[in-house]
Amino acid sequence: MNVATGVPVLDHLLAELARAARFDLALEIDPDDPEAEVDAAGTALGRAIAPRLSQGAHGEATIPADEALAMVVVERSERPLVASNADLTGAGGLGTDLAARFLGRLADEAGLTIHVRLMEGEDTDHALAAIFKALGVALARASRADH
């Protein structure tokens, strides 16, 4: 696994996603401002996963990370969107919600409806880890679905 987005917290989260999904992930993003790097990472992962998902394929996972617990449900659809109850603005040192920005790009590029529910989680780092691990497992399950 080789992940170099230019945003250390995103590198860590994508490594968590890949481990949880059992994906062999190689992703290198050209240096830019952090928001552009997050966008590029979401776009790249979306392009990589899209061919593995048939229309209507779906997957879900509920995963912990310490005290945090997140559920993510994904479906390949005609209407990409992200619905989330998690506001993690400022996480990872970004002025924006890193997870929402990344998920939005991933959804648009892969044609996914992504639902994120943060059920528990006081520590932002743990909440992000739970979300990205759950996303990895949900994507893995969707890519293996026979639809």
Q: Domains of the chain (ranges plus CATH)?
A: 2-144 (3.30.230.40)
How does pLDDT run across 55-114, given as a tens digit for each residue? 999 999 999 999 999 999 999 998 999 999 988 776 666 666 888 999 999 999 999 999
Q: Is the pTM of this model over 0.85?
A: yes
For range 131-147, the mean pLDDT: 89
How does pLDDT run across 45-56, given as a tens digit for each residue? 999 999 999 999
pLDDT score recorded for residue 147: 44
pLDDT score recorded for residue 43: 96
How does pLDDT run across 79-92, given as a tens digit for each residue? 999 999 988 776 66
Q: What is the number of H-type helices and E-type strands within the chain?
A: 4, 6
pLDDT score recorded for residue 32: 87
Looking at the DSSP bridge assignments, the partners of residue 28 are 4
pLDDT score recorded for residue 2: 87
How far CA 52 is from CA of 78, 135, 139, in Å, comes to 16, 15, 9
